[in-house]
Amino acid sequence: MTGFPAHRPRRLRQTPAMRRLVAETRLHPAELVLPLFVKEGIREPQPVPSMPGVVQHTRDSLRKAAHEAVEAGVGGLMLFGIPERKDAVGSGATDPDGILNVAIRDVVGEVGDATVVMADLCLDEFTDHGHCGVLDAAGRVDNDATLERYAEMALAQAEAGAHLVGPSGMMDGQVGVIRSALDEAGHHHVGILAYTAKYASGFYGPFRDAVESSLRGDRLTYQQDPANAAEALRELALDIAEGADIVMVKPAMAYLDIVRLVADAVDVPVAAYQVSGEYAMVEAAAANGWIDRDRVIRETLTGIRRAGASIILTYWAVEVARWLHRER
């Protein structure tokens, strides 16, 4: 017979079983990392209005949330602290009794090695000006003075028991300085998840509500310009040379080309952070009945995975992990 297609890709799409058999990308709970917020001095968890379903935890509710995430099989937890008092140098970040360090200790005490406990290593949650570093006399973010603070912060987090530290401030040399500080203090087992290509993004808006950041100005002098891709490769080469164990691209959805570029370039695990604004967009559209929430969540995560990330930070980690378990 002539006139009929010789090739019929639709054959492999006929049934759920056939589609499952040929699926090129699968999600697994173990590759999902849940970001968690903990606030100093509160008695009840506080909802974050721009992130429906996300809360600022108390120390107690954080322990419970960590436990639930482990039960769901989530691969890791990324902790963010919100101190009661902020100051120019972010003192709370390096205080062993500061909220983030206390929370690391609490969570590691609760879940031990059952999941990977990570901490955001950055000053913006702790500074009153909201920048990721300390400022010089002219009000600019002082790279090298900030590195000294990061080194101290890394030690505080390692001493609290963090398995991985996540420098997210985009200071030049941050990975190298943190690696040496950790090694000199005998913490060679503590790894670095480097925010390698972190873009100056509007998608972090809801996060700044979550950590009550009162940023004056913007982060354009340290985070990357959304226009640039080659620059991500430069940052990548530096982070690898300085000792990054895992590299991360952030945000995820508007930067899937960068995820692919990075995944093709290195042999360390690549993570992507589906950030607060990505979460808020989907939740807001779904709340209006404009999209099918669960379907879109799954599609975004599949897209990030397909682009080459083997680890995904997502505020939906526990919910999605539970779906995936049910489907097995």
Instruction: Please state, in angstroms and rounded to a whole number, the distance separating the CA atoms of residues 289 and 145.
Output: 49
Is 86 a catalytic site residue? no
Residue 222 neighbours by CB distance under 10 Å: 18
- Residue 66 in contact with ligand PBG, rule: CB under 6 A: no
With contacts defined by CB under 6 A, name the span among 91-99, 116-124, 145-153, 296-304 that binds ligand PBG: 116-124
Q: Tell whether residue 13 is among the known ligand binding residues.
A: no
Q: Tell whether residue 152 is among the known ligand binding residues.
A: no
Instruction: Please state, in angstroms and rounded to a whole number, the distance separating the CA atoms of residues 81 and 98.
Output: 9
Q: Tell whether residue 168 is among the known ligand binding residues.
A: no
Which of 150, 199, 204, 316 lies at the binding interface for ligand PBG (CB under 6 A)?
204
With contacts defined by CB under 6 A, name the span among 14-22, 57-65, 121-129, 295-303 that binds ligand PBG: 121-129
- Whichever of 95 and 209 has its CB closer to ligand PBG, that residue is 209
What single-letter amino acid sits at 303? G
- Residue 196 in contact with ligand PBG, rule: CB under 6 A: no
Instruction: Name the nearest CA neighbour of 304 among 275, 328, 324.
Output: 275
Task: Report how many helices (DSSP H) and strands (DSSP E) the chain contains, helices first.
Answer: 11, 10
- Residue 168 in contact with ligand PBG, rule: CB under 6 A: yes
Is 39 a catalytic site residue? no
Min dist. Cβ of residue 226 to ligand PBG (A) = 13
Q: How would you write 260-273 as a 3-class SS string? A: HHHHHHCCCCEEEE
Q: Tell whether residue 276 is among the known ligand binding residues.
A: yes
* Residues that are catalytic: 198, 250
| Contacts with ligand PBG, residue ranges (CB under 6 A) | 120, 122, 124-125, 168, 204, 207, 275-276
